[in-house]
Amino acid sequence: MIAEKKVVVVLPAYNAALTLERTLAEIDRDLVDDIVLVDDASQDDTAELAQRLGIEHVIRHETNRGYGGNQKSCYARALALDADIVVMLHPDYQYTPRLLPAMAGLVASDIFPAVLGSRILGGGALAGGMPLYKYVANRALTAFQNLCTGAKLSEYHTGYRAFSASLLRELDLEANSEDFIFDNQMLGQIIAAGHQIGEVTCPTRYFKEASSIDFRRSVVYGLGVVGVSLAVLAARLGLPRAAFLR
């Protein structure tokens, strides 16, 4: 616990057997009360390994639901466990779990209901191996998103996020996509509802075993980001709201 609040870490996993143990080794179990891993029909032994490593709550999708569908299962189980703070961490060891106390602490202190681990703050993205085209796309999309949403975030595309349980219960997560754009729709919902989002600088690691979407899917994702941003802008202007913002 932190500040007498229950902390649950959720791990949306797909073919994470090669990196899961390293990720778990850096999670501070004096802080984290429960860990939930959702295996989205991996082709390796992610679920079995998670159980052998002692993860308390392991869910396996029999068919692949997609990244967004995985997160829906993650958050539903965390809330069912009566979490006060939920931290979403990728089990591919791209983000360091050592930032869990800082991110959960900002939520626990009621400073922010949502906190992002930003790869852009501190300038470590390229040093950590982020491909140049992804860095350029990240910066361009983030600039466009800030213009549309009125927020001042350094990036919208990190997979390291902490939320208060009360915020998660307020959001209509089921209205969001089950694909990668889920992350941005979720941030759009938070911003459109008038909540503030905090950020902490987060070093990142890009290596062979770390998960990453290919160029084609990156383009599809980028177009989806533009659509979400315009939907939030429309809501700000008092125009009819997109379904995920209602």
Tokens 């679920």 belong to residue:
47
pTM above 0.85, yes or no: yes
Helix, strand, or coil (residue 2) = strand
Q: Name the residue among 174, 191, 169, 195 with its Cα closest to residue 244.
A: 174
Question: Any idea which fold 7-245 has?
Answer: Spore Coat Polysaccharide Biosynthesis Protein SpsA; Chain A (3.90.550)
**Segments making up each domain of the chain, as ranges:** 7-245
Contact 20, 49 (CB under 8 A): yes
The per-residue pLDDT for 126 is: 85
Neighbours of 74 (CB within 10 A): 23
The per-residue pLDDT for 207 is: 72
SS (H, E, C) 58-124: EEECCCCCCHHHHHHHHHHHHHHCCCCEEEECCCCCCECHHHHHHHHHHHHCCCCCEEEEECCHHHC
Please give the Cα distance from 213 to 219 (Å, whole number): 10
Buried b (16+ CB within 10 A) or exposed e, 46-73: bbebbeeeebebbbbbeeebbbbbbbbb
The one-character DSSP state at 22 is H
Written as tens digits, the pLDDT of the chain (246 aa) is 899 999 999 999 999 999 999 999 999 999 999 999 999 999 999 999 999 999 999 999 999 999 999 999 999 999 999 999 999 999 999 999 999 999 999 999 999 999 999 999 988 788 888 888 889 999 999 999 999 999 999 999 999 999 999 999 999 999 999 999 999 999 999 999 999 999 999 988 887 666 667 778 888 999 999 999 999 999 999 999 999 998
